[in-house]
Each structure stands twice: as C-alpha cells, then as structure tokens.
Amino acid sequence: MKKAIYIIAAVLCLAGCRVTYSFSGTSIDPDVHTICIPTFEYKALRVNPSLANDISEELRTRFRRMTSLEQVEMDGDLEIIGEISGYDVQASAVTADEVAAQNRLTVVVKVDFNNVKHPEDSFSGKSFSAYADYDSTNSLDAVESTLCAEIIEKIIEDIFNATVAQW
C-alpha cells in the first residue's frame, strides 16, 4: 500500500513539472513546438561575405539535430534574431622586436531570443564572442576559413546553451 502511494505521489510530482529534459541537455517546455531563425545580419566593419549565412545555417543545423522543434519562416514559438557586430584581427602575441608573432581573429554576435510562450526566458542584445589565434607568418586569407569554422562552432554552442539549455 505504501509503495502505491509513493508511486502515485511521484507520478503527480512529475506530471506537474513545466520543463521537459532530454539527453541533448535541452530544457524546452512541452508547449513549445516551433523555432524561427532568420539569417543573421552582418554589421561588422571588416567584411566576411559568407559569415552571416554560415552562422545562421550552423545554428539551424544544431537545432535540427539536437531538438524536435519544427523550423518555420516566421511566428515561431521561439525566435533567434542575430547580427554579427564584430569581426576583428589584432596582435595577440608580440616578439621582443615588437612584431606580432600571433594574430587573433575575434567574432562578436549579438542575439535577441524571444520565447513567445514563456517571455521570462527571453533576452535581448546578448553578446557572444569567440576567437582563434594564428601565426603571423600566415595571411588572414590563408587561414580564414579554418579559423571561422572553429569560431562558429564555439559561438553556436554558446547560443544554443543560452537559449534552450539555459546554462
């Protein structure tokens, strides 16, 4: 008899929980079914013509692989709107002769996250940034695609965690 009471109590407690957890680490409410991720805008001064599209596509891919949310063109239960606000190269290590030994490519993305069903989870203007270093003997053109792939992976992970993993 006590076992039955414990089982019923456990079921009732679990039934009252608002958040659904999955093995991917996401915590998406059960009433959220769709997501809209428009292509990010590019507002950085230094130009990388494919970066906005690359970040947008990688983010869509992450959500396709890690969640069961349906991706829609507009009016999703979740909406992630982003802009690339920074794309800069600076010296990260200087030699004794005051010459750059390494350079650092840094990308900054600002994101607005709108959760229509649960507005308390929304945020606006949150910045995500990542960088990658490269030897100054290489030109940026020679290593840019490799560096950008590494940076995009870091930024996508951070955006994903901030929106649906809520870390």
Tens digit of pLDDT for each residue in 14-63? 444 444 444 445 678 889 999 999 999 999 999 999 999 999 999 999 99
Question: For residue 158, what are the contacts with CB-CB under 8 A and spacing of at least 6?
Answer: 128, 130
- pLDDT at residue number 29: 84
CATH architecture of 32-165: 2-Layer Sandwich (3.30)
- pLDDT at residue number 136: 87
Percent of the chain's residues with pLDDT above 90: 69
- pLDDT at residue number 1: 60
pLDDT at 2 over 70: no
> What is the rounded average pLDDT for all residues in the chain?
86
State the Cα torsion 143-80-30-68 to the nearest 10°: -40
d(CA 110, CA 86): 9
Per domain, the residue ranges of the chain are: 32-165
What is the DSSP annotation of 1-32?
A: -HHHHHHHHHHHHHHT---EE-TTS-EE-TT-
Question: Helices 51-66 and 140-160 meet at what angle, rounded to 10?
Answer: 40
Report residue 91's pLDDT band, with 50, 70 and 90 as the boundaries: confident
